[in-house]
Structure 1
Amino acid sequence: MAELNLGYRYWLYVGNRGFDYKNFDIVLQALQIQQEETEAHLVCFGGGILTDKEVARFEELKLSAKVHQISGNDELLSTYYANAHCLVYPSKYEGFGLPPLEAMATGCPVIASNAPPMPEIIGNAGLYFNPESPQELASIIQTLDRHTRESLIDLGVQHVAKYTWELSSEQTVAFYKSLSPQ
Structure 2
Amino acid sequence: MMKIILDSQAFNYQKYGGVSRYYTEIFSILSKKDNLEIITPWFYTRNIYYKESVLYNKTQKQNTFFLELLSKLGISIRKKSKKLNYSRTINRLNSKDAFDVFVPTYYDPYFLDLINGKPFVLTVYDMIHELFPEYFSDADELKKNKLLLIEKAAKIIAVSQNTKKDILTLYPHIDESKIEVIYHGTSIKVNENAEADLPENYILYVGSRSDYKNFKFLADSIKVLLKNNPNLFLVCAGGGKFDKEEIEFIKSLDLEKQILQLDFKEHELGYFYKKAKCFVFPSLYEGFGIPVLESMACECPVVLGNHSSFSEVAGNAGVYFDVNSKDDLRNKIQSLLENEALRIEFSLKGIEQIKRFTWENAAQQCLDLYKKSVQIN
* TM-score normalised to structure 2 length: 0.45
Paired with 1:7 and 1:176, the residues of 2 have a C-alpha distance of 47
Q: Does 1:32 align with 2:223?
A: yes
Paired with 1:117 and 1:70, the residues of 2 have a C-alpha distance of 27
Structure 1, 5-14 or 157-166: larger mean CA deviation: 5-14
Q: Does 1:42 align with 2:231?
A: no
Q: Does 1:120 align with 2:306?
A: no
Asked if 2 retains the 8 angstrom alpha-carbon contact of 1:23 and 1:131, the reply is no
- Identical aligned pairs, as a percentage? 35
Q: What is the CA deviation profile of residues 94-138 of structure 1, one whole-angstrom value per residue up to 9, with x for unaligned ones? A: 121111111111111100111211111111111011222211110
Asked if 2 retains the 8 angstrom alpha-carbon contact of 1:87 and 1:110, the reply is yes
Q: Which residue of 1 aligns with 2:354?
A: 160
Q: Which residue of 2 aligns with 1:77?
A: 269
Secondary structure of the residue aligned to 2:363 is helix
Q: Match of 1:114, as an amino acid?
A: N
Structure 1, 29-38 or 146-155: larger mean CA deviation: 29-38
Q: Does 1:86 align with 2:278?
A: yes
Asked if 2 retains the 8 angstrom alpha-carbon contact of 1:111 and 1:127, the reply is yes
Paired with 2:203 and 2:221, the residues of 1 have a C-alpha distance of 11
| Residue from 143, 147, 172 that aligns with 2:366 | 172
Give aligned pairs, total: 181
| Residue from 253, 256, 262 that aligns with 1:61 | 253
Paired with 1:92 and 1:138, the residues of 2 have a C-alpha distance of 17
Paired with 1:48 and 1:173, the residues of 2 have a C-alpha distance of 36
Task: Give the CA deviation at 1:177.
Answer: 5.4
Larger Rg: 2
Paired with 1:108 and 1:166, the residues of 2 have a C-alpha distance of 23
Unaligned runs of 5+ residues in structure 2 are 1-191
Q: Match of 1:147, as an amino acid?
A: A
Higher relative contact order (CA 8 A, sep 6+): 1
Task: Give the CA deviation at 1:2.
Answer: 3.2
The change in CA–CA distance for 1:5 and 1:44 in structure 2 (over 3 A counts) is: closer
The change in CA–CA distance for 1:164 and 1:175 in structure 2 (over 3 A counts) is: same
Paired with 1:24 and 1:30, the residues of 2 have a C-alpha distance of 10
Q: Kindly report the root-mean-square deviation, in angstroms, between the aligned alpha carbons of the 2 structures.
A: 2.0
Paired with 2:220 and 2:368, the residues of 1 have a C-alpha distance of 45
Secondary structure of the residue aligned to 2:273 is helix
Q: Match of 2:276, as an amino acid?
A: A
Asked if 1 retains the 8 angstrom alpha-carbon contact of 2:226 and 2:233, the reply is no
Task: Give the CA deviation at 1:142.
Answer: 1.1
Q: What is the CA deviation profile of residues 34-85 of structure 1, one whole-angstrom value per residue up to 9, with x for unaligned ones? A: 2344342100001001111111111101111101111121221111111000
Q: Match of 1:73, as an amino acid?
A: K
Task: Give the CA deviation at 1:170.
Answer: 2.3
Q: Does 1:104 align with 2:292?
A: no
Paired with 1:66 and 1:51, the residues of 2 have a C-alpha distance of 17
| Residue from 7, 15, 21 that aligns with 2:212 | 21
Asked if 1 retains the 8 angstrom alpha-carbon contact of 2:208 and 2:240, the reply is yes
Q: Which residue of 2 aligns with 1:149?
A: 343
Unaligned runs of 5+ residues in structure 1 are none
